[in-house]
Amino acid sequence: MTDVIVCHGAWHQPEHFRALADRLNRDGLSVAIPDLGGLSLPDSHDLVQSMVDSSVRPPLLVAHSNGGITAGTVRGAASMLFLAGWVLDVGESPQGLIVDVQRRTGRAGAPLAVTADADGRVRLDPEAARAGLYADCDEATATRAIELLRPEPPSIFAATPEQAAWRDTPSHYLAAGHDQAIVPELVAAFAARCSTAETWPTGHSAYLSRADDVAELIGRRRGV
């Protein structure tokens, strides 16, 4: 039985969430962290959907950042917890929302610097990642998280859901008050789409900077 399924964000991998999973295991919760790196949205949906379908009882989906796009398409979860996650409706894409914010506000909607490698994949600039994703993490945690980052295909910016399962699933949004990866207009819009929401004075990666608090939140949402 799997109590919690974690959907990691773009450029990240399951190892980023190992400490959080270990803490949840100590609390008696079983945790699965599928590797979504490099997968298209249909493929990542199919992977997570198969895990939910095979669970003895409906699990809690925990989705960080871009992982929210996948989680939001999966049906049959007991509930969803978005950790500074993207909550997209049918037909929306990250790039489309970023461009729309820039058009409406005149401000750039994509603060994280990326570069293309020889294979055409996009990589996060390490120092931009440190400032934009891990600013409130201790030095050792931030350095390790940066080491674990992986390149992604540019198609991540064009991922467009064909269904919005979050509309029919109880959901909670944890907004990061000092988020440097998602602009405030989008954070507010995503939070409003969820059943409930709260804001913590953290950066984009509270699962690292406040792992114990996030574990307690997950436990409450799972009913522990």
User: Do 40 and 56 meet the contact criterion of CB atoms below 8 Å apart?
Assistant: no
Helix axis angle for 139-148 and 126-133, nearest 10°, is 130
Share above pLDDT 90 across residues of the chain, in percent, rounded to a whole number: 88
Rounded CA-CA distance 223/105 in Å is: 41
Closest CA to 221 of 193, 184, 194, 182: 194
Q: Give the pLDDT mean for 17-26.
A: 96
- Report pLDDT digits (tens) over 152-192: 999 999 999 999 999 999 999 999 999 999 999 999 999 99
Give the chain's mean pLDDT: 94
Q: What's residue 110's pLDDT? A: 56
Domains defined for the chain, CATH in brackets: 4-222 (3.40.50.1820)
One-letter identity of residue 115 = T
Q: What length is written for the chain?
A: 224
Rg value, the chain, Cα: 16
User: Quick one: tokens of 203?
Assistant: 């950066």
Rounded CA-CA distance 163/38 in Å is: 21
Closest CA to 88 of 169, 179, 189, 14: 189
Q: What are the backbone angles phi and psi of residue 90, rounded to the nearest 5°? A: -55, 130
- Report pLDDT digits (tens) over 113-167: 888 888 889 999 999 999 999 999 999 999 999 999 999 999 999 999 999 999 9
Q: What's residue 131's pLDDT? A: 93
Q: What's residue 116's pLDDT? A: 83
- Report pLDDT digits (tens) over 191-200: 999 999 999 9
Q: What pTM, to 2 d.p., does this model score?
A: 0.96
Q: What pairing do the DSSP bridges indicate for beta strands 122-124 and 114-116?
A: antiparallel
